[in-house]
């Protein structure tokens, strides 16, 4: 394919993409293919000879599109959104064209420098304390990871090594290595029972234990300082050493936010700096971008007492997957845990210490030019446009909750609306039904709705209650859609309870 | 930006990209900006109001392009290539448009299914043993990771947990957890002294020790079975437990390949299955794609005796960054080490066990639709086209080595040509110079060449020798370029030794 052929193919692909977006509602939101559908349609072996672009492009429409679930559909209400925007797509186009492994500054200075700049922009826009700025007094800063799970695994490595380093600082060489290895066997990472599985998985990856701090309906499923205190004291009594905790701003099930004030106070008492300090990470994968709105910025007021924070631009901030921004209060914590140097990587700029080599802030060695799409999104929408985007969805969540309340004969709100998410259950006629029977009915209704193909929602279980999550935060969703979603739910509820 | 505006902006961006590629040689291959250049050009804060696309696009040309190092330039000879192709760019365009987090099958069945199919295509094209096929007898298969470093960290987690599980299989519950934590403190991951730093970093991430098996010039810097035996016996004598080794096909410094036969034999003797088996991973990040050529396929003949294999499509196989393909002999090893389940992720397809949820084969939770670009590349070029691509570069490496030999008054070949890479040093006039003096001269020449801006090469140190690597494996490089590279080197050598 030469550049002329590419130009034609690319324009034709752009036309496909525009058509796809303009008609996104024509697609059944969830793919209805059966497992193994594609193997039946494709050859067993790679072709020996090259094929024409037209054949490949046709196959995208005829074989791939039917196997897609349409995350940009206004009827996609499952999990959290993975939002898309045209400026971000343009960012990806340039980023792909300027491709390189970009593991250090000289690999393409613009890749590193733009990342530092747009992350400082974001830190300011989110009203994070100044310690998270690259120019801040604690030498912190931000980095773009692919996903929140990578960000959490990365800070857990840094937290583990910081803790072990501080605890064995009086030793050196193999003696220190042995002491570290032994102490590592006692380490425990914590998160609330409502935190995302990414924290448990990070503990599995980093080779430490994981314990979940219980949460309760009476606290709106928040982790509290007292809950954390009880867990820390229990573990220490057993000779184990908690070294890290994930707190959450916007949990996966219900979008609740941990009680940062009491958590900070308990940790300052039980684990002060220099005496077994416990690293606190704030996972705000979905809801963190709401900090761009003044009305949410009080949530970041305590973050200077914590160690790191991440939120996903790719969930609710119009930046195509993947793009999770991670901020740390002191960047040397990452570099000390993750830096290795090869002779082949030697260069004057790295040696000078004047530049950032982001490979030491993450698990992968190479990196993509992800800041370009973030830059395009921020500049295209402006802060005001991004605030309007968040507020629109928060408003739609409130509209949905009002609709639910208007049919309190059919539904009950389990939690929310919070950050556009409302969690509901079916109300069973006659209060005599057991929780188990209620759950079975809600599950039956949920399955019927998804099978209907008009809308797609995910379920969860909170406090033993099987519940349905409605999260209208995709780019094209409007009030008319939310009203239709509700009609579909009402119809299914009436059928289920009939 | 509406879809009409996007179409215009996208076509204009495509025009920029075509122009960039058509004129890639006009750019100085390495950016010559100074650290901090971009901060001086951009505002301190994100804009309050949205900006027009034309302003953003202009800034790409005026502020970003000067800060790029041009990895697709035929004068880019550093590290390993990070290659680009038009079909892969089209793949990225569709992948970005169909964006979603794709952490399980129902998130978009096509994402999972196409990945399994193209990885089976590749396993066959690379002549990997059938145990690496998804349909093979050992229930293995392939998965696309971002980078080789992620692939290595992932298999190290699986290897560690497999080893610990087997060693504590007689225990359960907290007793097993305690025994695992204690045993973990004794674990050692191995790699040769010439293996990429990714293995050491993976050991840091997974919380195990790392030891490098020495390599020697007499063995062409290969790890041998005997070298590995010595290391294992030494570690075991100290009470430590080697559980994992990275072997390399195409090392970073010299593209040497470990002695797979003797390594397999020694491990079958010292660490047979069921008795402290040691996981063997083959890191073929750069050179592995050469297995598409029949003349290299003998290198894969022993892989059924190993556990996993990865190669980067984004280095030498025309697939824009990032795309590292990882194959394992038994996929349950990954899933057992990495699977966690949340209530919110429940769905009938996952419950049925008929589908693959690739999130359990990797560190991140969400995933991009990377198989699309691989599919486009394989179909556009065909196996024959990809073979021709590899053979062209291998031939250019040979041409360069012949040129070097023709000026044995100026240069000496330290290693190669292997997989297009030739490693050279300056020959000092008069044999009396010490190694240190020789190294200083080669380094001086290397710095002068890179500062000249005509070509860009990386240096390394092998067996104490400071050397320059020449790796002509970018898509547009031709014989005429290689002859020019050599002229630049001759001129610099003559100046340096004058």
In a structure prediction context, what are the per-residue pLDDT tens digits for chain B, which is 498 residues long? 999 999 999 999 999 999 999 999 999 999 999 999 999 999 999 999 999 999 999 999 999 999 999 999 999 999 999 999 999 999 999 999 999 999 999 999 999 999 999 999 999 999 999 999 999 999 999 999 999 999 999 999 999 999 999 999 999 988 988 899 889 989 999 999 999 999 999 999 999 999 999 999 999 999 999 999 999 999 999 999 999 999 999 999 999 999 999 999 999 999 999 889 999 999 999 999 999 999 999 999 999 999 999 999 999 999 999 999 999 999 999 999 999 876 666 777 777 777 899 999 999 999 999 999 999 999 999 999 999 999 999 999 999 999 999 999 999 999 999 999 999 999 987 666 899 999 999 999 999 999 999 999 999 999 999 999 999 999 999 999 999 999 999 999 999 988
Q: Does B80 reside within a domain?
A: no
Residue A422 has φ and ψ, to the nearest 5°, of: -120, 135
Distance from CA of B391 to the nearest CA of A (A): 16
Which DSSP symbol is given to A196?
A: -
Cβ within 8 Å, pair A79-B101:
yes
Which class for A269: exposed (0-12), middle (13-18), buried (19 or more C-beta within 10 A)?
exposed
pLDDT of residue A378: 98
Structure tokens at A187: 């380490």
**Could you tell me the pLDDT band of residue A383, with boundaries at 50, 70 and 90?**
very high
Do B45 and A121 make contact, defined as CB atoms within 8 angstroms? yes
Is B160 domain-assigned?
yes
Residues of A in contact with B11 (CB under 8 A): 11, 14
Distance CA(B231)–CA(B213), nearest Å, equals 6
Nearest to A428 by CA among A405, A445, A449, A416: A445
| Residue A440 located in a structural domain | no
B362 to each of A26, A81, A200, B143, B154, how far by Cα in Å?
34, 21, 14, 8, 6
Alpha helices in A168-197 (DSSP H): 173-184
Helix (H) or strand (E) holding A288: none
Which is it for the CA torsion A311, A313, A316, A321, positive or negative? Answer: negative
Q: Which residue from B minimizes the CA distance to A46? A: B121
Laid out side by side, the sheet with B324-328 consists of B141-145, B324-328, B308-312, B279-283, B241-248, B187-192, B209-213
Cβ distance A69 to B107 less than 8 Å, yes or no, reads yes
pLDDT at res. B342: 64
What per-residue confidence (pLDDT) applies to B350?
73
Confidence of residue A431 (pLDDT cuts 50, 70, 90): low
Residue A154 lies in a domain: yes
- Residue A341's pLDDT is 75
- Nearest-CA distance A498 → chain B (Å): 25
Shortest Cα distance, chain B CAs vs residue A278, angstroms: 18
Inter-chain contact B60–A94, Cβ cutoff 8 Å? yes
Contact residues, chain A, for B453 at CB < 8 Å: none
Residue B337 lies in a domain: yes
Q: How far is CA A154 from the centre of its chain?
A: 14
What pLDDT shows up at residue B344? 67
Q: Which domain holds residue A288?
A: 100-368
pLDDT in tens, A329-382: 999 999 999 998 766 677 777 777 778 999 999 999 999 999 999 999 999 999
Cα distance between residue A154 and residue B207, in whole Å:
12
| Cross-chain CB nearest to B320 (options A15, A99, A148) | A99
Partners of A153 on chain B (C-beta within 8 Å) are 205, 363
Beta strands at A279-283 and A308-312: parallel, antiparallel or unpaired = parallel
The closest CB to that of B382, out of A48, A200, A321, belongs to A48
Say if CB B334 and CB B158 are below 8 A apart.
yes
For residue range A269-307, list pLDDT tens digits in order. 999 998 899 999 999 999 999 999 999 999 999 999 999
Residue A58: inside a domain? no
Q: How many other CB atoms are there within 10 angstroms of residue B343's CB atom?
A: 15
A276: alpha, beta or left, given left = phi > 0 and alpha = psi -120 to 50? left
Say if residues A202 and A158 touch (Cβ distance below 8 Å): no
Q: Give B-chain residues touching A101 at CB under 8 angstroms.
A: 71, 79, 82, 314, 321
Interface test with chain A among B11, B112, B183, B366, by most A beta carbons within 10 Å: B366
Closest CA to A206 of A149, A283, A274, A264: A149
Least CA distance to B240: which residue of chain A? A178
Dig out the tokens for B68 from the structure. Answer: 């790029």
* Site of tokens 């690496």: B132
Contacts of A380 in chain B (CB under 8 A): 1, 50-51, 53, 56
| Contact between B201 and A338 using a beta-carbon 8 Å cutoff | yes
- Structural domains counted in chain B: 1
SS3 A47: coil
* Whole-number Cα distances in Å, B128 to B89, B119, B304, B335: 27, 11, 8, 22
Q: Which chain B residue has the Cα nearest residue A178? A: B185
Percentage above 90 pLDDT, chain A = 92
B278: tokens are: 């040691």
Torsion of the alpha carbons at A390, A220, A447 and A401, rounded to the nearest 10: -50
Q: Which residue of B has its CA nearest to A450?
A: B347
CB atoms A381 and B50 under 8 Å: yes
What is the predicted pLDDT for the residue at B343? 67
Distance from CA of B452 to the nearest CA of A (A): 15
Three-class secondary structure of residue A413 per DSSP: strand
Residue B432, pLDDT score: 67
Q: Do B108 and A67 touch (CB under 8 A)?
A: yes
| Spatial CB neighbours of B40, under 8 Å, sequence gap ≥ 6 | none
Query: Which residues are CB-contacts of A279 (< 8 A; sequence separation ≥ 6)?
Result: A155, A158, A159, A162, A163, A243, A244, A245, A307, A308
DSSP reduced 3-state for A242: strand
| Chain A nearest C-alpha distance from B315 (Å) | 9
CA distance B163 to chain A (A): 13
Identify all chain B residues contacting A289, using CB atoms and an 8 Å cutoff.
none
Of A97, A100, A201, the CB nearest to B89: A97
Instruction: Check B379 against A5: CB less than 8 A apart.
Output: no
Q: Which residues of B touch A239 (CB under 8 A)?
A: none
Tell me the ipTM for this assembly.
Answer: 0.97
> Are B355 and A67 an interchain contact pair (Cβ–Cβ within 8 Å)?
no
Å between B326 CA and nearest CA of chain A: 14
Report the residue from B18, B124, B352 with minimal CB separation from A6.
Answer: B18
Angle, alpha carbons B75-B414-B488 (nearest 5°): 30
Domain presence at residue A20: no
More confidently predicted of B274 and A448 = A448
Write the CATH number for B104.
3.40.640.10
Nearest CA in chain B to A467: B344
- Tell me which residue in B110, B186, B201 faces A340 most closely, judged by beta carbons: B201
A488 within a domain of the structure (yes/no): no
Dihedral of alpha carbons B347, B352, B358, B359, sign: positive
Question: What chain A residue is nearest to B371 in terms of C-alpha separation?
Answer: A64
Q: Is the peptide bond before A417 cis (omega within 30 degrees of 0)?
A: yes
Nearest residue in A to B66, CA atom:
A110
Test the A interface: residue of B347, B357, B363, B423 with most A CBs within 10 Å: B363
Q: What's the confidence (pLDDT) of residue B431?
A: 65
**Least CB-CB distance to B321: which of A101, A125, A341?**
A101
User: Peptide bond preceding A151: is omega within 30 degrees of 0, i.e. cis?
Assistant: no
Question: Which is higher by pLDDT, A348 or A389?
Answer: A389
* Per-residue confidence (pLDDT) for residue A131, from 0 to 100: 97
Q: What is the pLDDT of residue A275?
A: 85
- Alpha-carbon dihedral angle through residues A252, A246, B341, B310, given to the nearest 10 degrees: 120
Cβ neighbours of B111 in A, within 8 Å: 67-68
Q: What is the pLDDT of residues A54-77, one digit of tens each?
A: 999 999 999 999 999 999 999 999
Burial of B30-60, coded b for 16+ CB within 10 Å and e otherwise, reads: bbebebebbbeebeeebbeebeebeebbebb
Nearest CB neighbour to A110, from listed B15, B68, B349: B68
φ, ψ of residue B334 to 5 degrees: the values are: -70, -50
| Contacting residues for B262 by C-beta, under 8 A, at least 6 apart | B224, B225, B226
Instruction: Tell me the two tokens of residue A193.
Output: 């029972």
């Amino acid at each position: 394919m030469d550049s002329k052929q590419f130009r034609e193919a690319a324009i034709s692909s752009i036309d496909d993409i525009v058509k796809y977006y303009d008609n996104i509602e024509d697609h059944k939101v969830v793919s209805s293919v059966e497992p193994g559908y594609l193997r039946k349609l494709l050859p067993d072996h790679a072709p020996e000879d090259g094929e024409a672009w037209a054949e490949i492009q046709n196959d995208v429409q005829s074989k791939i599109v039917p196997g897609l679930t349409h995350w940009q559909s206004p009827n996609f209400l499952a999990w959290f959104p993975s939002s898309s925007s045209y400026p971000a797509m343009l960012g990806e186009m340039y980023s792909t064209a300027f491709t390189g492994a970009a593991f250090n500054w000289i690999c393409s200075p613009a890749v590193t420098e733009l990342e530092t700049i747009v992350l400082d922009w974001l830190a300011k826009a989110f009203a994070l304390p100044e310690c998270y700025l690259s120019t801040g007094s604690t030498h912190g800063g931000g980095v773009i990871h692919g996903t929140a799970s990578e960000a959490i695994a990365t800070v857990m490595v840094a937290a583990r090594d910081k803790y072990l380093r501080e605890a064995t600082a009086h030793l050196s060489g193999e003696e220190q290595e042995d002491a570290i290895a032994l102490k590592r066997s006692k380490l425990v990472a914590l998160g609330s029972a409502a935190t995302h599985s990414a924290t448990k998985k990070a503990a599995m990856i980093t080779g430490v234990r994981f314990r979940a701090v219980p949460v309760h309906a009476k606290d709106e499923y928040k982790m509290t300082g007292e809950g954390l205190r009880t867990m820390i004291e229990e573990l220490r009594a057993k000779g184990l050493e908690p070294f890290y905790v994930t707190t959450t701003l916007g949990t996966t099930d219900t979008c609740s936010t941990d009680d940062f004030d009491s958590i900070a106070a308990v940790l300052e008492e039980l684990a002060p700096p220099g005496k077994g300090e416990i690293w606190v990470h704030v996972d705000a994968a979905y809801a963190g971008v709401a900090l761009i709105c003044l009305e949410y910025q009080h949530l970041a007021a305590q973050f200077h007492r914590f160690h790191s924070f991440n939120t996903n631009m790719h969930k609710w901030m119009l930046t195509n997957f993947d793009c999770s921004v991670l901020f740390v209060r002191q960047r040397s914590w990452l570099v000390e845990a993750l830096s290795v140097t090869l002779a082949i990587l030697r260069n004057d700029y790295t040696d000078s210490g004047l530049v950032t080599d982001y490979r030491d802030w993450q698990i992968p060695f190479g990196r993509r030019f992800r800041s370009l799409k973030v830059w395009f999104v921020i500049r295209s929408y402006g802060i005001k446009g991004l605030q309007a985007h968040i507020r629109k969805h928060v408003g739609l969540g409130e509209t949905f909750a009002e609709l639910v309340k208007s049919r309190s004969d059919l539904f009950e709100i389990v939690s929310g609306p919070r950050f556009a998410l409302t969690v509901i259950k079916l109300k069973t006629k006659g209060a005599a039904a057991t929780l188990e029977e209620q759950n079975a009915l809600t599950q039956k209704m949920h399955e019927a709705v998804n099978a209907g193909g008009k809308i797609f929602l995910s379920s969860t279980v909170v406090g033993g209650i099987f519940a349905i999550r409605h999260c209208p935060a995709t780019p094209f969703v409007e009030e008319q859609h939310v009203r239709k979603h509700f009609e579909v739910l009402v119809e299914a509820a009436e059928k289920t309870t009939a």
